[in-house]
Amino acid sequence: MSSNAVQTTKEEILAHYKENGFAVIPNALSQEELDYLNGLVDESLKETPEHWHKPIEGAVGTGSFLAKHPLEMDKFIRHHKIFPLIQEVLLGEARFAQFDFRDVSVERASASEMNYHRDISYYGTIGGKIYDPENPYISTYACVIYYLSDVHDCCPAFSLVPNSHMYATLDEAKEKQGEAFREIPIRGKAGTAVLYNITTYHTRKGGQADCTHGRRTMHNYHSRATSYPLTNWATVPEVLALSDDHDTRLFYSQWTPNQIKFAKETYTKPIPPYYPVHMVK
């Protein structure tokens, strides 16, 4: 499997995802969309650096854009090219889980290596499925990472191990997969999207010492209606969570205790009775 292979048609993307647990989609974002998003990131890093967490393995990050630009960010969260694919792999049950941006500066590029890991629901300890063998696409959760900058051979790069979702450790994946075991670094131009099952082992490979680019990404996580919420920190603005549009309300309806608390404290409309507001102080 080539590390620079891409899938372009819906059929290719879904077939590759079904076989490997991920797909690489070129030109998922237009140049206009890239200019808009990079402009927001540049402005935020300069004007409101306090909205970004301190470097973790070389990357700063923020989840603040959804609150500040809810309608604009919703267009990227449910992107017209990618969201139909997400719905396909999540059996039409896609729900908002998490949305954030990350930036690795040139100075931190060579120190941005992470360990291989997989993302497990915050609620996984109370019975959340790690993967769903009854789903042809396996996934209980799916993420899209969008490259907002070109990722060259010298740059930090997203990397994953295909079909490693069923193993307890990376060592077990190496042992059981044998010659089929691969670590696939994903490189490509700005606008490339990587759609993957989040319980696949993945990481960020560090950049080379002479890297002059760094790396910037947008991360868009989804759970399924039949899965537990992914986190207990992401919050959704009222204009989306209580939208007049049924599909929008449904997509943003997987409320956590933190979301309920946020709604009680900030929303102006009455909170629908199907959210257990009485259970959260």
Give percent of the chain with pLDDT exceeding 70. Answer: 95
Q: Is residue 241 part of a domain?
A: no
Q: Count, in order, helices (H) and strands (E) of the chain.
A: 9, 10
Domain count, the chain: 1
Q: Is residue 272 part of a domain?
A: no
Instruction: Say if residues 158 and 204 touch (Cβ distance below 8 Å).
Output: yes
Give pLDDT, residue 125.
55
Give percent of the chain with pLDDT exceeding 90. Answer: 70
Q: Is residue 245 part of a domain?
A: no
Radius of gyration of the chain, Cα coordinates, nearest whole angstrom: 19
pTM of this structure: 0.94
Residue 191: domain span: 10-234
Per-residue pLDDT of 126-182, as tens digits, reads 556 678 889 999 999 999 999 999 998 888 899 999 999 989 899 999 999 999 999
pLDDT score of 254 more than 90: yes
Q: What is the DSSP letter of 148?
A: S
**What's the mean pLDDT when you consider all of the chain?**
91
Q: Is residue 20 part of a domain?
A: yes
pLDDT score of 198 more than 90: yes
Confidence of residue 105 (pLDDT cuts 50, 70, 90): confident
Confidence of residue 225 (pLDDT cuts 50, 70, 90): very high
> C-alpha distances in angstroms, 61 versus 13, 31, 244, 272?
28, 22, 31, 32
CATH number of the domain where residue 159 is located: 2.60.120.620
Q: Is residue 208 part of a domain?
A: yes
Q: Is residue 260 part of a domain?
A: no
Q: Is residue 203 part of a domain?
A: yes
Q: Is residue 271 part of a domain?
A: no
pLDDT score of 1 more than 60: no
CA proximity to 187, closest of 162, 142, 154? 154
